[in-house]
Amino acid sequence: MKPLLVSLCLAATFALPARADVAEAVQDHILPGYARFTEATRALADIDSCAGDTLRDGWNAAYDAWIGVAHLRLGPVEDDGRVLAIAFWPDPKGIGAKQTAAAFRKADPALLTPEQIAEQSVAFRGLTGMERLIYADTPPEGYACDLALALADDLARMAAEVEAGWRSGFAQALTHPGKDGRYHSEAEARQAMLTALVTGVEFNADTRIGRPLATFDIPRPERVESRLSGRTMRNIALSLAATRDLAQTLYAKDSLTDAAFAKAEAMVPRVDLAQVADPQQWLKAEILAQSIHAIRDAAMAEIAPALGTGIGFNAADGD
Amino acid sequence: MRRRNFLTTLAAIGAMPRLSWADIGSPAYLAAAQTPDGSYSLHGLSLAGESLFALPLPARGHAATAHPERPHAVAFARRPGSYALVLDCARGQALARLTPPEGRQFNGHGAYSLDGSVLYTSEQLAENSEGRVGLWESATYTRIGEIPTHGIGPHELRRLPLSEDLLIANGGIATDPTDRTKLNIDTMRPNLARVTPEGKLVSLAEPPPELHQNSLRHLALLPDGRAACAMQWEGDPAEYPALLALWDEGRITLHEPSLEDSFAMDNYAGSIAYSPATGEIGLTSPKGGVVQIHGADGSYLRMVHRADACGLAASPDGFTLTDGNGAISTLRPGGLELRQNLGLQWDNHLIALAT
């Protein structure tokens, strides 16, 4: 009797498509997040005028939705440079601004067709490309408006393609790993999820905060993300909320990690990276970055062992 | 190894018939790995990814090099290295354990001379990271001298084909004597130095000044006498400069991927290999979880995703790729195909054996 029970239990275990952690992350976090992004960009693309605040409102809603999934740098966003084409930041050499200026000089109407826009550089397009137009000193008119509307359509196209890619194959590759797929085992799928979580959290500390923070002696407030639109701190708040949600779906009992998220999130309203030249603000930003690193440490101490995985053997080492 | 044991081993070699790589199944590759129990070993692998032999290592490995004729492999410790282990792969035993002289550290790579009589080891002075090549005669593995690498923090070195000269990737990074803390990122100056076995500098190539923080680290030899070098960018992480340099008699050119694939390597190339079958150069990034493929002229071709991918070597139809999740895969122009997973975590490098 006993051996039979054991084998029944084993059979039940093997019958599951994948560990609930990855499946839940896909069902409850990833797919709904991409659905919101598709919806928000479609609404943005439906706007056909640059008058008033409508376009800015639609763009902000699309940006909010993007931050909900921007930490997921795996899957269809990796193809055709989409992850960069949707939001090209940081851009230390100002490639995007140069390309926008060049497009204005030419003012070529042929560029505005969906086919031509899709062929343009990743630095020129997407949310950051639109931001330069709709948050310029003067409201977009004429060619600038046409370009902004064309970029909105291009963004909606990419969002729809990414969501379709997840639903038609990549979700399956994660939840049903196998030797012919991108992930050979459940352990590899869990590692991919943990990597997305940890790198997503760290991006806030290392890049969103780290770039303007620079050094105490020479802070670089001009390097903030979304400088023109002033979304800088909102992006961080939304990113922490999104990665907190991913952590929860991966491991519901993530009390240490969740507490670390709560602590960092509570600090966000007190920090303004645009004011990082003020020593008081610099220190507050530095403390926020540390509290975000503490989330990473908590996740590695709590969620990584719960998932039975880590960051890669070579990725974590390097030489 | 103590001198007495060492002499015993030598005597044993003399008494036994000489074996060659063919006598142990002609392994195609050498690779170091961590086993599930946490210990480390060096494996000889067939083209299909079967382990033909496994010999224990005292600590985490990095790369290896093989004697051109005798079935001897030298396994190098992870940097800063305190050991290099010469293994008789046919008899499954250690022939010698090399330790760097006082004040020197092994840097994870080495190569044999054309006739196999001398082993060259990549080393640095612990005190200031100045590069040295250790010379060891390979009959008894006794140190016979050292020459300068003409740079700081040397990493991989290769013997140039049909020549006794060495091509040395001086990574340029000075590190703390006791660990890997980087001390000179603002002023680092990597180079590729061609050096004679006597230590004379034949040529020195540096990246352009604005890319002086691009550490030249790993090498692949091309059949036409050129070499390809994989770099690791230590500058502003928001910039994604080229990670491939092509060396041609003392001059280097840099080759970037397309802008949309530029970030995917995460500014880090772990290994580099050239495939004679496809005429392609592959660079791996375990941090980015990708392999990027360039043509032999440096032009960027495509990218393949594989988490923690690092070890890369030529195969009869493309490349063989190893990763930290244990997979041994074949990378052909058509895509990536899993060959074996032995449940080991493969370390940085997969070394192709010429035998």
Do A273 and A161 lie in a common domain?
no
Percent of chain B scoring above 90 in pLDDT = 86
Do A105 and A137 lie in a common domain?
yes
Q: Identify the band that residue B22 occupies on the pLDDT scale cut at 50, 70 and 90.
A: confident
Q: What is the pLDDT of residues A256-276, one digit of tens each?
A: 999 999 999 999 999 999 999
Per-residue model confidence (pLDDT) at position A3 = 41
Helix, strand, coil content of chain A in percent (nearest 5): 70, 0, 30
**Domain, as residue range, for A296:** 186-307
- To the nearest whole angstrom, how far is the Cα of B19 from the nearest Cα of chain A? 34
Do A108 and A192 lie in a common domain?
no
Query: What's the maximum distance between 2 C-alpha atoms anywhere in chain A?
Result: 81
Cα distance between residue B43 and residue B33, in whole Å: 8
Q: What is the pLDDT of residues B269-304, one digit of tens each?
A: 999 999 999 999 999 999 999 999 999 999 999 999
Do A201 and A167 lie in a common domain?
no
Residues of B in contact with A121 (CB under 8 A): 259
> Does residue A206 belong to any structural domain of this protein?
yes
- To the nearest whole angstrom, how far is the Cα of A288 from the nearest Cα of chain B? 20
Residues of A in contact with B327 (CB under 8 A): 184
Per-residue model confidence (pLDDT) at position B16 = 58
Residue of A nearest to B218 (CA): A319
Nearest by CB to A92, which of B34, B236, B263? B236
Cα distance between residue A184 and residue A176, in whole Å: 9
Nearest by CB to A90, which of B238, B345, B347? B238
> Does residue A313 belong to any structural domain of this protein?
no
Asked which of A127, A153, A175 is the last residue of a domain, the reply is A175
For the question of an ipTM over 0.85, the answer is yes
CB contact under 8 A, B325 and A122: no
Residue of B nearest to A74 (CA): B305
Q: What is the mean pLDDT of residues A118-135?
A: 97
Interface residues of A toward B, Cβ cutoff 8 Å, are 78, 80-81, 84-85, 90-93, 95, 121-123, 179-180, 182-185, 187-188, 191-192, 195, 206-207, 211, 312-315, 317-319
Q: Identify the band that residue B354 occupies on the pLDDT scale cut at 50, 70 and 90.
A: confident
- To the nearest whole angstrom, how far is the Cα of A318 from the nearest Cα of chain B? 7
Nearest by CB to A192, which of B79, B268, B307? B307
Q: Identify the band that residue B148 occupies on the pLDDT scale cut at 50, 70 and 90.
A: very high
Residues of B in contact with A123 (CB under 8 A): 259
Do A203 and A171 lie in a common domain?
no
Interface residues of B toward A, Cβ cutoff 8 Å, are 34, 62, 78-79, 108, 155, 217, 232, 236-239, 258-261, 263-264, 268, 270, 286-287, 289, 305, 307-308, 310, 323-325, 327, 338, 341, 345-348
Report the domain count for chain A: 2
Residues of A in contact with B259 (CB under 8 A): 81, 84, 95, 121-123
Do A171 and A22 lie in a common domain?
yes
The answer on pLDDT for B252 being more than 90 is yes
Per-residue model confidence (pLDDT) at position B14 = 47
Q: How far apart are the first and last CA of chain A?
A: 54
Segment B9-18 long-range contacts (CB within 8 Å, at least 24 positions apart): B9/B93, B9/B94, B9/B95, B9/B96, B10/B140, B13/B88, B13/B95, B16/B91, B18/B70
How high does pLDDT run on average in chain B?
93
Q: What CATH code is assigned to B3-270?
A: 2.130.10.10
Q: Identify the band that residue B82 occupies on the pLDDT scale cut at 50, 70 and 90.
A: confident
Q: What is the CATH number of the domain that holds A291?
A: 1.20.120
Count of CB atoms situated within 10 Å of the CB of B335: 11
CB contact under 8 A, B287 and A191: no
- To the nearest whole angstrom, how far is the Cα of A84 from the nearest Cα of chain B? 7
- To the nearest whole angstrom, how far is the Cα of A189 from the nearest Cα of chain B? 10
> Does residue A2 belong to any structural domain of this protein?
no
Cα distance between residue B286 and residue B300, in whole Å: 19
Domain boundaries, chain B: 3-270
Asked which of A132, A151, A175 is the last residue of a domain, the reply is A175
Is B264 within 8 Å of B290 (Cβ atoms)?
yes
The answer on pLDDT for A254 being more than 80 is yes
Q: What is the CATH number of the domain that holds A88?
A: 1.20.1420.20
Residues of A in contact with B263 (CB under 8 A): 84
Nearest by CB to B270, which of A188, A207, A314? A314
Q: What is the pLDDT of residues A194-234, one digit of tens each?
A: 999 999 999 999 999 999 999 999 999 999 999 999 999 99
Do A237 and A158 lie in a common domain?
no
Do A171 and A39 lie in a common domain?
yes
Lowest mean pLDDT among A16-25, A254-263, B165-174: A16-25
Do A171 and A43 lie in a common domain?
yes
Q: What is the pLDDT of residues A51-74, one digit of tens each?
A: 999 999 999 999 999 999 999 999
